[in-house]
């Protein structure tokens, strides 16, 4: 069953075509990687899927709702309810502790629940680091907090932008293992990366070049 469908979308900034007539289909529960060099349109695509931008042309269907027609207020609601975001720069609120950062996500979504937030941190192996401020956590730990924050509201889609870009290999593996776990639980994952190893962990890789889908690779070794 299709969760996300991009139909012939273009994003044009003046002369520049950041995205040029791109179509993409992601099924419920699928783990997809999006690759491409800088300027290939990855970020623009990510913004559109993440309900933070609208295409100039074309339709974006998330769970059957056309995002290109919605107001930005409605897009905020959809992002909050359906999407968990993970960023390259970890992006934590620097004056809140790990558990409070997770609770911020709950706060905007529904109700803060410290117990549940602590459980989510436990799941990423940071139960004992819950009361630490971001400055007291390593990069890998911060990214794991962001994963916990992304999954706390049980989103249908987790959208990760270079989630391992700033991590060492050990932490990269921890994060990829977490993604695999989420995948097994049925969460749909879209991971933007330029690291082939990260892309290989996904079921399918979409390669963007010059705003177009250059090719699509299905990972034969997935799950092995």
User: Binding string, 49-68, against other proteins, x = CB under 8 A?
Assistant: -x-xx---------------
With CB under 8 A as the contact rule, the residue among 7, 17, 91, 132 that binds other proteins is 91
**Residues between 163 and 222 that touch other proteins (CB under 8 A):** none
> Which C-beta is closer to other proteins: that of 82 or that of 183?
82
**Residue 134, both tokens:** 């971001």
User: How far apart, in whole angstroms, are the C-alpha atoms of residue 56 and residue 101?
Assistant: 34
User: How far apart, in whole angstroms, are the C-alpha atoms of residue 135 and residue 156?
Assistant: 30
Cα 67 versus chain centre, distance: 17
Residues in the chain, how many? Answer: 224
User: How far apart, in whole angstroms, are the C-alpha atoms of residue 221 and residue 200?
Assistant: 8
With CB under 8 A as the contact rule, the residue among 16, 23, 37, 95 that binds other proteins is 95
With CB under 8 A as the contact rule, the residue among 14, 73, 170, 221 that binds other proteins is 73
With CB under 8 A as the contact rule, the residue among 1, 14, 111, 169 that binds other proteins is 111
CA distances from 220 to 17, 75, 179 (A): 33, 35, 18
> Which C-beta is closer to other proteins: that of 1 or that of 111?
111
Cα 144 versus chain centre, distance: 13
**Residues in contact with other proteins by the rule CB under 8 A:** 43, 46-47, 50, 52-53, 73, 76-77, 79-81, 85, 87-89, 91-96, 100, 103-105, 107-109, 111-114, 133, 149, 161-162
């Amino acid at each position: 069953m299709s969760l996300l469908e991009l139909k012939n979308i273009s994003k044009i900034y003046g002369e520049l075509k950041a995205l040029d007539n791109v179509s993409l289909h992601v099924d419920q529960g699928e783990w997809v990687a999006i690759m491409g060099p800088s300027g290939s349109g990855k970020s623009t695509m990510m913004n559109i899927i993440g309900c933070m931008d609208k295409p100039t042309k074309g339709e974006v269907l998330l769970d059957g709702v056309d995002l290109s027609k919605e107001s930005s207020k409605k897009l905020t609601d959809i992002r909050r309810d359906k999407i968990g975001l993970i960023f390259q720069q970890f992006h934590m609120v620097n004056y809140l502790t790990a558990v409070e950062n997770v609770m911020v996500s709950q706060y905007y979504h529904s109700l803060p629940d410290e117990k549940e937030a602590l459980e989510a941190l436990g799941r990423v192996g940071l139960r004992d680091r819950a009361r630490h401020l971001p400055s007291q956590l390593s990069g890998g730990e911060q990214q794991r907090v962001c994963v916990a924050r992304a999954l706390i509201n049980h989103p249908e889609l987790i959208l990760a932008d270079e989630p391992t870009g700033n991590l060492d290999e050990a932490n990269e593996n921890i994060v990829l293992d977490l993604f695999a776990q989420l995948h097994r639980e049925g969460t749909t994952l879209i991971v933007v990366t330029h690291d082939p190893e990260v892309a290989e962990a996904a079921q399918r890789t979409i390669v963007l070049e010059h705003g177009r889908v250059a090719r699509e690779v299905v990972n034969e070794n997935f799950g092995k």
